[in-house]
Structure 1
Amino acid sequence: MHRSPTPRAPRPLRLLAVVAAVMLALTACGGDDSSAGEDGTTAVTVGVIPIVDVAPIYLGIDQGFFEDEGLDLTLKTAQGGAAIVPGVVSDEFQFGFSNTISLLLANTQGLPLEVVSAGVSSTGEAGKDFGAVIVSKDSNIQTAADLAGKKVAVNTLKNINTTTINEAVRQDGGDPSSIDYIELPFPDIAAAVSKGTVDAGQVVEPFLTITTRQGDRQVVSNYAATDPNLEVGMYFASKGYAEKNPEVVKKFRTAMEKSLEYAQAHPDEVRTVLGTYTEIDPAIGKAVMLPRWSAEIDEDSVQKLADLAEQDELISKQPDLEEMLP
C-alpha cells in the first residue's frame, strides 16, 4: 500500500470526475421511473456498504417496514461511496448510502443529489463510539494533539475521517496541517500500525474492536470529538428520480425512519443481522460498539462538517443545505 502520488488528483476530485462523465452520458435521458410489480409494489434498488452503519435498512426489510409502504427493496453492496454516488446518478440505484462529507462535496460541485433520510450518527461518547484513531499499545502518542507531525492512516484522503481528525487535533491544541495522511483500506490499517508503517490509524467497527482486542489503544474518538451528534452518513437519491417519484421517496423515508428507530431500540437484533450481510465473526459482532441511529437529521452537525470542509479546503464554497437536505 502507498500514499497517493502528488500529481494524482485527490480521491474526491477523481470521484467527481467519474460522476461528471456519467452525467454527460445521461444528459439526453432522465432516470426511469421505478417499476411496479403485479402486486402493486414498487421495486427499488439501494446501494449500501457492508458495514455496521447500514444495519437498520436490513432490519427494516426483515420487519416489513418497506413492504408496508409498498416497496420491494433490492440491496446491492459496494465498497464505498465512490461506486454508490455514480450508481445513483446513473439510476443503477434509486437510493444510496454515503458519508456526509462526500455528499457535501457532490453538492458544491453541482451534482444532482439530495438527501432523503438520516443514516448513522456518532454516539457522542469518547472511547465508546464506532470510530476512533488507534495506536500501538507502546506508542508515545497519548492525545489528539500528539498526532500532529505523525503519519496517520485513513481509508480515504480528503474526506470525513481526515476532516474529523483535523478538528479533534485542532481542539486539543495541535496543528493538523502537519499530519501526513496515508490512504489505506480499513482492513490494512491495523497491520500498518502494528508494523510501524504508520504512527496511527483511523478505523471503524468491526475493525476497532478487532484491533483493540489485539492490544492497540484508542487515542481519540474523532467523530464524537467533532460533534457529539455528528451526522456521519445519510441516504440519498438523484434529484431527477426524486422529482419524478416523490411518493416513492416519501415511502422510502417513512420506512427508513421506522428502521432507524427500531435499530436504536433493538441492539441485540442489530448484532444478529450483522451476520447476514457481513463476514464479521459472531464473537466480534457481539462486542462491537454500535453507532447511534436517529430518524432526525442533525442539521447543525451537517453545517459544522460543511464549515470544516471549507476550512480544510476540500470545498471552495458553502453547500446549499436547504436544497440538499429534506
Structure 2
Amino acid sequence: MRRLLTGIVVAALAASLAACGTDSDSGDSGDSGGGVDNVKVGVIPIVDVAPIYLGQQKGFFKSRNIELTMEAGQGGAAIVPGVVSGQFQFGFSNFTSLMIAQTKNVPIKAVAAGVASTGEQGKDFGAVVVKADSPIKTAADLVGKKVSVNTLKNIGDTVTRESVRKAGGDGSNVNFVEMPFPNMQAALEKGDVDASWVVEPQLSAIKAAGGREVASTFVDAAPNLTVAAYFASEKLIADDPDLVKRFTEAINESLTYADAHPEEVRTALSTYTKIDAALGAKLVLPKWPVEINEASVEKLKTLGQTDGIFEGTPDLEKLLP
C-alpha cells in the first residue's frame, strides 16, 4: 500500500500543477461577486464523517458560498493523493495516514479536527471484534492471529498492536489483512479472519449479529485520542486562503452541531450508509470537538515510529493547523 501511495503521489504532484484550484468556474469565485465554490471532499463512509453531511443539510456550507460534494474512499491513505492532485479540495483522514504522507514529503496540512475517541473502554466507536464463539478473549490472544484492517500499516494495525502490548502480548506478532470495512462482517463470520478492527457503523452491526468486542483500541492508544482531521494541500491553502477559512468555519460549526445533536447524527447516517434505523439508534457515537488533542496525536506519532510505518520523523508543528 505504501508503494502504491508513493507512486500515485508522484503522479499527483505533477498533476497538481494543473489541477489545484476549486472545482468552480472561477478559482476565486468565493471572493468575487458572491460566486459559489463547488468543493469536493474525499471522505470514508463511516460514522466519523456524519458532521459534514449534517452540516451540508443544515446549510452551514451554503451560507459560506460553498456547494459541497462528498466522494467516498476506502481510507485516508487513498484520499491523500486525491487532495494533492486536486481531485478533492479537502479530505478526511486519520492522523497516521497524514503523518505517513508528510514523511514522504507530500505537501498537505490539517485545517480542522475530524473526530475523537469517547475515551471510554467498551463504549467507543472503534474496536477489535470477534465471533461469539471465538477463543479470543483479550487483546493478548490476538498474537499470531489474522486481523482485518481497512488499510495496512496504518492507524488500525498500530493501535491494535498497542492494545496487544497493553494486554501483555507481543504486538509485533499479529497478522493483518486489508479489506474495506463493509466486507469485514462476512469475512469474520466465514472464518477468513480471526478478528476485525472496525469502526461504526460496522462495529454495532457485528455486535448485533453476536460479535464480541475484545479491545477498545483508540482508548488504549491515548486518552481522548483525536483520531482524524480534515486537510488540504499546501498549494490550496496558499492559493485560496479565503476558501480554506470558509470551509474550516463551516466544518467547525458542523462538528459543534453534531456533538450537541446526536439524534440528528443518527438520522444523517442513513443518507450515506446502508445502516437501518434500528441499528442506527444503537450506534456508539464518537466525540466531535473542534480542538485537536495534540498530545494524543504525538502518541500516534510515537506508535507509528515504534511500529516502523514512517519513513522519517513526522513534523507535527508543520502538519497541525
Out of 3, 13, 21, the residue aligned to residue 13 of structure 1 is 3
CA distance in 1 between counterparts of 2:45 and 2:187 reads 22
Letter in 1 for 2:11: A
1:180 is aligned to 2:169: no
> Shift of the alpha carbon at 1:316?
3.3
CA distance in 1 between counterparts of 2:317 and 2:77 reads 24
Report runs of 4+ in structure 1 exceeding 6 Å deviation: none
CA distance in 2 between counterparts of 1:77 and 1:317 reads 29
CA distance in 1 between counterparts of 2:38 and 2:180 reads 33
Aligned to 1:6: none
Correspondence list, 1:1-326, <5 A: 11-27=1-17, 29=18, 31-32=20-21, 34-36=27-29, 39-326=34-321
Letter in 1 for 2:3: L
Aligned to 1:5: none
Question: 1:149-173: per-residue Cα shift (whole Å, max 9, x none)?
Answer: 2221222211110000011111121
Tell me, what secondary structure is at the counterpart of 2:163?
Answer: helix
TM-score normalised to the size of structure 1?
A: 0.91
CA distance in 1 between counterparts of 2:305 and 2:48 reads 26
Further displaced range: 111-120 or 175-184: 175-184
- Give yes or no for contact 2:34–2:65 (8 Å, CA) kept in 1: no
* Structure 2 spans left out of the alignment, 5+ residues: none
Tell me, what secondary structure is at the counterpart of 1:149?
Answer: coil
CA distance in 1 between counterparts of 2:283 and 2:102 reads 33
Tell me, what secondary structure is at the counterpart of 2:304?
Answer: helix
Further displaced range: 37-46 or 259-268: 37-46
> Shift of the alpha carbon at 1:36?
1.6
> Shift of the alpha carbon at 1:144?
1.1
TM-score normalised to the size of structure 2?
A: 0.93
Tell me, what secondary structure is at the counterpart of 1:315?
Answer: coil
- Give yes or no for contact 1:231–1:301 (8 Å, CA) kept in 2: yes
CA distance in 2 between counterparts of 1:187 and 1:68 reads 34
> Shift of the alpha carbon at 1:197?
2.5
> Shift of the alpha carbon at 1:77?
2.6
Further displaced range: 29-38 or 273-282: 29-38
* Structure 1 spans left out of the alignment, 5+ residues: 1-10
Letter in 2 for 1:134: V
CA distance in 1 between counterparts of 2:157 and 2:92 reads 19
Tell me, what secondary structure is at the counterpart of 1:177?
Answer: coil
- Give yes or no for contact 1:134–1:218 (8 Å, CA) kept in 2: yes
Tell me, what secondary structure is at the counterpart of 2:172?
Answer: helix
> Shift of the alpha carbon at 1:269?
0.3
CA distance in 2 between counterparts of 1:78 and 1:316 reads 24
Letter in 1 for 2:185: A
CA distance in 1 between counterparts of 2:16 and 2:242 reads 23
- Give yes or no for contact 1:56–1:259 (8 Å, CA) kept in 2: yes
Further displaced range: 244-253 or 156-165: 244-253
- Give yes or no for contact 2:117–2:219 (8 Å, CA) kept in 1: yes
Tell me, what secondary structure is at the counterpart of 1:280?
Answer: coil
- Against the structure 1 CA distance between its residues 256 and 136, is the aligned structure 2 distance closer, same or farther, given a 3 Å change threshold? same
Letter in 1 for 2:318: E
- Against the structure 1 CA distance between its residues 121 and 67, is the aligned structure 2 distance closer, same or farther, given a 3 Å change threshold? same
> Shift of the alpha carbon at 1:235?
0.4
> Shift of the alpha carbon at 1:13?
2.9
Tell me, what secondary structure is at the counterpart of 1:287?
Answer: coil
- Give yes or no for contact 1:36–1:43 (8 Å, CA) kept in 2: no
- Give yes or no for contact 1:307–1:318 (8 Å, CA) kept in 2: no
- Against the structure 1 CA distance between its residues 21 and 174, is the aligned structure 2 distance closer, same or farther, given a 3 Å change threshold? same
> Shift of the alpha carbon at 1:118?
0.4
> Shift of the alpha carbon at 1:71?
2.3
- Give yes or no for contact 2:77–2:151 (8 Å, CA) kept in 1: no
Considering only aligned residues, what root-mean-square deviation do their CA atoms show, in Å?
1.7
Letter in 2 for 1:251: R
Further displaced range: 157-166 or 205-214: 205-214
> Shift of the alpha carbon at 1:23?
1.0
Q: Percent identity?
A: 52
